[in-house]
Amino acid sequence: MTKIIFMGTPDFSVPVMQKVLAEGYNIIAVVTQPDRPVGRKRIMTPPPVKVEAEKHGIPVYQPEKIRNPEELQPILDLEPDLIITAAFGQILPKKLLEAPTFGCINVHASLLPELRGGAPIHYAIIQGKKKTGITIMYMAEKLDAGDILTQVEVEIDHNDTVGSLHDKLSEAGSNLLSETLPRILNKELKSIPQDDALATFAANIKREQERINWNKSAKEIYNHIRGMNPWPVAYTTFDGSVIKIWESKQLDKSSGANPGTIIEVDNEGLTVATGDNGAIKIIALQPSGKKRMDAGQYLRGAGAHIQPGHCLGESK
């Protein structure tokens, strides 16, 4: 039976691994990131893939840096026939890429060569794309640059968030891998090199990218907010305090006010002017130190002092 090592870390990877197991493939080990401290109390938390692997009694390896020889060697000693990765989070060294008989394949959440990198789902929404997809490819030492085996498109709805699109893509990745694996093992597939000239990139989101720039258009800000939901969550500031913005509506109206100016407050939320003389309505937010709530609820309580004419954020 083909000996498979599965490498993945976050929730996205779990349904992919579950599908491989459900179809009877032999996963001899799982490689994932080390446990990390999570939340305000910094509780050491295992990656979702580790939790799932332990349910099935599969040995788990958690290298801090898989390129370190002492952490790599135990994985090489397993002599896998195939390595499957899905959002593992580290670039594999050449020695590991060349070890399996059937190579190393990756389930990536974009239509490569578009959106190479660690945050393709976020950028697909932030950039206002109408579709994205899944690519299964051979891995290379260069980031997400390996030859393509199979792809499938996934439509992006106007109301999709990172959370909803994540779930669509995880399911699509599981199904595409199910179709692709037998063809790899039977040597029925011919891979296609990527065109590097068409490559775009989706680097991991940095803190400064989370902040809303009210000088942008209403459409761009709307996409930015849903492209940060439910993690890491877009934010703005008011009166020196951070307010996370979870959900908004793009409005078909002219604001006639400076970007970031609150132009209307009602029971549903607050309407804010944008840089294209448009407006969005904030309908779910999270004040500093509080839980997520409806914007209307906030405005009827602690946020009652917020009035039309006040400004959010800082112009950049």
DSSP track, the chain: --EEEEEE-STTHHHHHHHHHHTT-EEEEEE-PPPEEETTTTEEE--HHHHHHHHTT--EE--S-TTSHHHHHHHHTT--SEEEEES--SPPPHHHHTSSTT-EEEEESS-TTSSBSS-HHHHHHHTT-SEEEEEEEE--SSTT-SPEEEEEEEE--TT--HHHHHHHHHHHHHHHHHHHHHHHHTT----B---GGG--B-PPPPHHHHB--TTS-HHHHHHHHHTTTTTT-EEEEETTEEEEEEEEEEESS---S-TTBEEEE-SS-EEEE-TTS-EEEEEEEEETTS--EEHHHHHHTTTTT--TT-B-S---
The two tokens of residue 66 are: 């898989």
- Type of residue numbered 100: P
Quote the pLDDT of residue 39. 83
Cβ atoms within 10 Å of 245's Cβ, excluding its own: 25
Cα dihedral across residues 227, 17, 145, 69: positive or negative: positive
pLDDT, mean of residues 201-212:
97
Q: How far apart are the first and last CA of the chain?
A: 58
Quote the pLDDT of residue 40. 81
The two tokens of residue 285 are: 């937010």
- Going by pLDDT thresholds of 50, 70 and 90, the confidence category of residue 316 is very low
- What's the pLDDT tens digit per position in 144-200? 999 999 999 999 999 999 999 999 999 999 999 999 999 999 999 999 999 999 999
- Between 209 and 39, the more confident residue is 209
pLDDT, mean of residues 216-231:
98
pLDDT, mean of residues 214-224:
98
Q: How far apart are CA 120 and CA 133, in angstroms?
A: 10
Q: How far apart are CA 268 and CA 282, in angstroms?
A: 8
- What's the pLDDT tens digit per position in 77-96? 999 999 999 999 999 999 99
pTM of the entire predicted model: 0.95
Quote the pLDDT of residue 314. 66
pLDDT, mean of residues 33-49:
94
Q: Is the pLDDT of residue 2 over 60?
A: yes
pLDDT, mean of residues 111-126:
98
- Under a CB-based contact definition with an 8 Å cutoff, are residues 73 and 83 in contact? no
Which residues are registered as beta bridge partners of 242?
237
Backbone angles phi, psi at 196, to 5 degrees: -60, -25
Mean pLDDT estimate for the chain: 96
Q: How far apart are CA 210 and CA 130, in angstroms?
A: 22
- What's the pLDDT tens digit per position in 247-306? 999 999 999 999 999 999 999 999 999 999 999 999 999 999 999 999 999 999 989 999
- Under a CB-based contact definition with an 8 Å cutoff, are residues 295 and 269 in contact? yes
